Structure 1
Amino acid sequence: MKIAVIDDEKPQADILYSICNAYFGGHKQNVQIDCFPDGIAFFNSFKENTYKIAFVDIFMEKMNGIAVAEKLREKDRDIIIVFVTTSPDFMMQAFSVHAFHYITKPYKAEQMIYKVLNDASSYVSDNSKYIEVMCDRRNTLISLKEIVSVESDAHYINIGVVSGLRYRTRMTIAEFLKLADNDTRFIPVNRGIVLNADYIKDIEDSVCVTGNGERFPIKIREKTRIEQSIREYMFKKIRENQRR
């Protein structure tokens, strides 16, 4: 994993570097931490999808942290942005660029940063699971985490994601499940329909309702099996989170 620390206060950057290094060393994970004195230096060496986490100081002279985050979010929508600052005054602007966390200086406890790194590492691990499909004659990467539904249509499947977009690719449901490594979050609810359990909101009679309001027909005789599959997945997810 690669982490960027963008901070014009070298002593503070060095402290954060040491804490991150100790955290990943303790977890026996390989990590590369690159420190940059400002956003300009960072973008001069930036390559898309290189860094998984970026710690960004808000108060910097050459380019303030909010501007850095806005530009970074345009280039990489998946990178985890953690703001570090001496003041909470810019917290609302931090959320506008989908910041993962907001840490105030001086760093009072390593444990707080460890928790942020723990949460971020879990997010990266899940978010790094992708499938590659052919859509409109080009290869497209789709995050498993963002897939809401998969529906078969003749020799094709339509993959619906949280943004509302749909990807159409020549593939069977069985091939999709194999490509997704039979991830247990994907539950067949009817012939030619697979739903992501993370987005299933309710089952009403013969209809499965997702969080965005879409309704999918299910087989009545399979209702008990579907509900059991959802419960088993949720219990597994809870146990995994408790072990972290």
Structure 2
Amino acid sequence: MAETKLVAETRTAFGKGAARKIRRDHKIPAVLYGHGTDPVHITLPGHETMLALKVANALLEIEIEGSSQLALAKDVQRDPIKPVIDHVDLVIVRRGEKVTVDVAVTTEGEAGPETVVTVESQTLELEVLATRIPESVVVSVEGLTAGTQVLASQVELPEGATLVTDEETLVVNVTAQVTAEELEAELAEAEAEAGIERELSDEEEAEQAESEGDGDAASSDEEKTDEA
């Protein structure tokens, strides 16, 4: 993954008031720490930082007063309402150093007919070189049949990556597609167990009335037979 360069400024004003002023200037307050160094409080350019952090595990080159540090976003605090970032914690990394990150799981290919593919684990925890963090881990589901389960140990990892997630973790589950009739039966059973009386549709009411009519006619014929 290529590094994204962000030119930062050191800051000496702290507190909520100072942070609000920084954000009003379309910048983001942040702190850079790690590798035994003292935390450095900085300000990042708002727009460029938001674009960079749209990519998971983005490797950032933070330039401060002419010197550069590689860093990963450890914690990103976002505004619950507005599409803005309130604060970023950055951890320093070195070239050649390995880091532990959560990498997204994606699937490719088409599973067998009448199957449903479910990604049970959205991410896998991997140990990788800081400069070679993959954007995703790809699991092929091509031709997989119902009942197939792909565990973490069976996922093909990028070169140099080591699995940290438990090997027995279920990553992808392939199940048989549920028919409309089976879904309706399951719903009816669940409603019955919950004591819910479901309102019949017009079609169901007509079918029920017809069935009851057939039953009444059969009973009438039996009574006539008995009388004879």
Q: TM-score, normalised by structure 2?
A: 0.27
- Specify which structure has the bigger relative contact order, considering alpha-carbon pairs within 8 angstroms and separated by 6 or more residues: 2
Whichever structure has more strand as a proportion of its residues is 2
Structure with bigger gyration radius: 2
Whichever structure has more helix as a proportion of its residues is 1
